[in-house]
Structure 1
Amino acid sequence: MRRRTVLAGMGALAALAGCSRQGPFKLGFLAGLSGRAAVTSEEGRNGAILAVEQVNQAGGLGGLPIELTVQDNGDDVQTALRAMQALVAAGVQAVVGPFASSVAREVLPLAEKAGVLLVSPNATASALAEQDDALVMLNPSTREATRAYAELLWRRGQRRVAVATATDARNGLYAMAWRDEFSAAFQALGGTVTAQQGFASDASTAYGQVVRSLLDSQPDGLVFACGSVDAVRLAQQVRKQAPEMPVAVADGAAGEALIALGGDAVEGIIAGQLHDRSSRAPRYLGFVEAYQARFGRQPGYHAVLSHDAITVLVQAQTRRGRGESLKQAVLRHGPYDGLQQPIVLDASGDTTRPPFFVVVRDGRFEPLR
């Protein structure tokens, strides 16, 4: 029944589409499917694939299918640019991705030149927000998320926190913005940031020394602004040096990879995510059932947001007026039917949605009570 709920919704979208196009509606998917971000990127790819399959099973757009082309942006700029060029050459109208803010910054000029819209499920750097460009961000900017983090830790009695930040080119655009905005929000509440320690997101980094320098400042909590792999390596060192120290990780580290890689070291860690795992929304429950049937596991928030990205593009296409570009249609014709809540975009293609905080308990993300 729940899966039929999602399919019915997709079928309604398909029925609304015009029939003037002579070929498939071509979309791309761009994320780091190799390297450090592979787990979360694969999850996002699966969410996009499922959404496309559901629309096509319901009759496509005006009887024509959606065609999804997947590219891996790797871990370096040149690979990302080649991947974006391949999507442009494939004739896509829009791309779901990239997931990393740093990659979005690098490929955005190429997308602008080609007239291809980027709908990123996961890019959050404030430097990318409030811009009239070809990037739509379904994740709120770091400014919104970090304020919620600061308020949560303050309510939980933390007054002195130390922050570790990935400062390399791969993660720095997001992580340093996250650190700065969190620190400002926490200090505005009356808290103290006792130490800020940057590190390279690299296996050669002495993660034990990073943690030691944080602990030397005598904090009552640690915060990690980085990706999942680095958060796990830092958490492992915390469990060796100060097992009872509270740890929170930025939303960029809060994907399924945190648990898959972290094991016991990440038990008790707090994180913010952009979907509510306890939601009883019919569309969300139908999605979870369909995702499990298709991929054999539970979806995480990267899958949810990628599915939402396809929904935005499909609904905007069905509502698109004569002479409108796809970007104009996306910005003008919301709100869109997200799996858990309406997706509302402002004139810059940015959104606001509060994070849902979770805690790792017994190898699962559970809602924080």
Structure 2
Amino acid sequence: MSASSSPVRVGVLAPLSRPGWVEAGRHLLAGVELAAADVAAVGGVGGRPLELLVRDTAADPRRAEAALDELDSLGVAAVVGEYHSVVARAAAARADALRLPFLCASAVLDALTDEPTEWVARLSPPQSRGWRIYAHALLAAGHRQLAVAGQPGEYWASGVRVLRKALDPHGGTLAWFDADAHSPEDLCDRLAGQPATALLLLTGFPEPAVPIVRAVRRDVRLADVLVGAPAGQPEFAMWADALGGDGAGVPFLRHLPERLTPLGERVAAALRARRGGEPSFVAYEGYDALTVLADALRAHGTDRSRVAAAWPHVAVEGTRGTVRFSRVPGIGVWQWAGPPVQVVDRDPAAPGSFRVLRGKPQAE
């Protein structure tokens, strides 16, 4: 096979086994694979087909680093994907060290790298932006005393800092309860003794999130306490399957606009046909990530340094708007500055449907 007809290899990272969020990983991969099929339908990259080399991170940072090393040795032009923030952080650091372009699709941790890098770009909004919007939605709804059922971890700790920073100017408070140290029933007892009007779940799913939600919903003392999940767990069918009506009315963040672009509408229909269900925002992020990368490869070539140099010149119509990367204060990677952010919940009257409680356009 000649070099001109050999495949352009692209690495894909996604959590496809436990303890990773497997459903999110499958949505991410579905979006990437659909985009790859669309790239193939228009002649690939300069007449060359794309070859996806998919690697399961299983929510393990060390596994992601090993995958980057392997993909580097296999000669990929770039890597896309990942959902879990701590995994994406490890992947971004390794990609920077290898001088391997990495387009992060879904992870939100602000500090994706310790130092600014030219090699990494990101589609999803930084946690400081999304969680600030979430906090403002709670404040607008009258919730100033919050409680958190949380677990240790860099992602959760970062989220708490964002929430506190948003609450402080408004006299808001946030009480932390260790979800690993207390049973769901004990958490309910402690919450009943607090002035908090909302309990935020900063935990893994299904454990301990599901038993905590069930315990709160069944405790008459907590009938007026709002349950929230800013990290987005209620977006996925597994949440509704596990909790049914108990999982409705739980506000969460998702990265969708009020209306998809015409491309987004077509992609939505194609993903529904492929998966037999409604695509999540993570599927659109996967589609957009590979679409943006393919455009960069066509316009600037497959040399890694050229791909990395292309990030500030990207202007690609995606499923949720036009993607452009820039330098955002406090963020060390090339960042899509205006991805859409919504605060949404499942409708208590129809848990299979969503209600937009607060929406933000791309230009916030």
The TM-score range, normalised by the shorter chain, is 0.7 to 0.9
8 Å contact from structure 2 (residues 217, 246) kept in 1: yes
> Which residue number corresponds to residue 5 of structure 1?
none
SS state of the match for residue 368, structure 1? strand
SS state of the match for residue 346, structure 2? strand
Q: Which amino acid aligns with 2:120?
A: L
Per-residue CA deviations over 1:74-111 (Å, capped at 9, x if unaligned) read 24344333333332233222222221111122233432
Query: How far off its partner does 1:186 sit?
Result: 1.5
* Cα distance in structure 2, aligned partners of 1:267 and 1:45: 27
> Which residue number corresponds to residue 212 of structure 2?
234
* Cα distance in structure 2, aligned partners of 1:89 and 1:54: 27
2:16 paired residue among 14, 30, 33: 33
> Which residue number corresponds to residue 330 of structure 2?
none
State the aligned residue count: 341
Q: Which amino acid aligns with 2:313?
A: H
> Which residue number corresponds to residue 262 of structure 1?
243
1:44 paired residue among 14, 28, 33: 28
8 Å contact from structure 1 (residues 176, 225) kept in 2: no
Identity rate of aligned residues, in percent?
25
User: Is residue 346 of structure 1 aligned with residue 326 of structure 2?
Assistant: yes
Q: Per the alignment, do residues 77 and 251 of structure 1 end up closer, same or farther by CA in structure 2, a change over 3 Å counting?
A: closer
User: Is residue 166 of structure 1 aligned with residue 147 of structure 2?
Assistant: no
User: Is residue 175 of structure 1 aligned with residue 160 of structure 2?
Assistant: no
* Cα distance in structure 1, aligned partners of 2:299 and 2:61: 35
* Cα distance in structure 1, aligned partners of 2:196 and 2:345: 20
> TM-score, structure 1 length as denominator?
0.84
Consecutive unaligned residues in structure 1, runs of 5 or more: 1-18
8 Å contact from structure 2 (residues 344, 354) kept in 1: yes
Q: Which amino acid aligns with 2:291?
A: T
User: Is residue 359 of structure 1 aligned with residue 345 of structure 2?
Assistant: yes
> Which residue number corresponds to residue 361 of structure 2?
none
Match runs of 1:1-369 below 5 Å:
21-36=4-19, 37-128=21-112, 131-132=116-117, 134-167=119-152, 172-193=153-174, 195-200=175-180, 206-229=183-206, 230-241=208-219, 242-256=222-236, 257-276=238-257, 279-320=259-300, 324-329=305-310, 331-347=311-327, 348-352=333-337, 353-361=339-347, 362-369=350-357
Q: Which amino acid aligns with 2:133?
A: A
Query: How far off its partner does 1:265 sit?
Result: 2.0
> Which residue number corresponds to residue 6 of structure 1?
none
SS state of the match for residue 71, structure 1? strand
SS state of the match for residue 269, structure 2? helix
Per-residue CA deviations over 1:318-346 (Å, capped at 9, x if unaligned) read 221797521111x2222221202112211
8 Å contact from structure 1 (residues 337, 343) kept in 2: yes
* Cα distance in structure 2, aligned partners of 1:260 and 1:41: 18
* Cα distance in structure 1, aligned partners of 2:96 and 2:4: 23
Q: Per the alignment, do residues 126 and 110 of structure 1 end up closer, same or farther by CA in structure 2, a change over 3 Å counting?
A: closer
SS state of the match for residue 334, structure 2? coil
* Cα distance in structure 1, aligned partners of 2:27 and 2:49: 23
Report the aligned-residue RMSD: 2.5
Query: How far off its partner does 1:20 sit?
Result: 8.2
31-40 or 332-341: bigger deviation: 332-341
> TM-score, structure 2 length as denominator?
0.85
8 Å contact from structure 2 (residues 254, 344) kept in 1: yes
8 Å contact from structure 1 (residues 228, 255) kept in 2: no
SS state of the match for residue 121, structure 2? strand
* Cα distance in structure 1, aligned partners of 2:261 and 2:355: 16
* Cα distance in structure 2, aligned partners of 1:233 and 1:88: 42
> Which residue number corresponds to residue 4 of structure 1?
none
* Cα distance in structure 2, aligned partners of 1:71 and 1:266: 32
* Cα distance in structure 1, aligned partners of 2:80 and 2:141: 36
8 Å contact from structure 1 (residues 145, 354) kept in 2: no
8 Å contact from structure 1 (residues 275, 356) kept in 2: yes
Query: How far off its partner does 1:307 sit?
Result: 0.5
Q: Per the alignment, do residues 161 and 206 of structure 1 end up closer, same or farther by CA in structure 2, a change over 3 Å counting?
A: same
Q: Per the alignment, do residues 272 and 325 of structure 1 end up closer, same or farther by CA in structure 2, a change over 3 Å counting?
A: same
* Cα distance in structure 1, aligned partners of 2:56 and 2:260: 33
8 Å contact from structure 2 (residues 234, 345) kept in 1: no
Query: How far off its partner does 1:205 sit?
Result: 6.7
Consecutive unaligned residues in structure 2, runs of 5 or more: 328-332, 358-364
Q: Which amino acid aligns with 1:166?
A: Q
Query: How far off its partner does 1:73 sit?
Result: 0.8
8 Å contact from structure 2 (residues 78, 101) kept in 1: yes
* Cα distance in structure 1, aligned partners of 2:187 and 2:102: 36
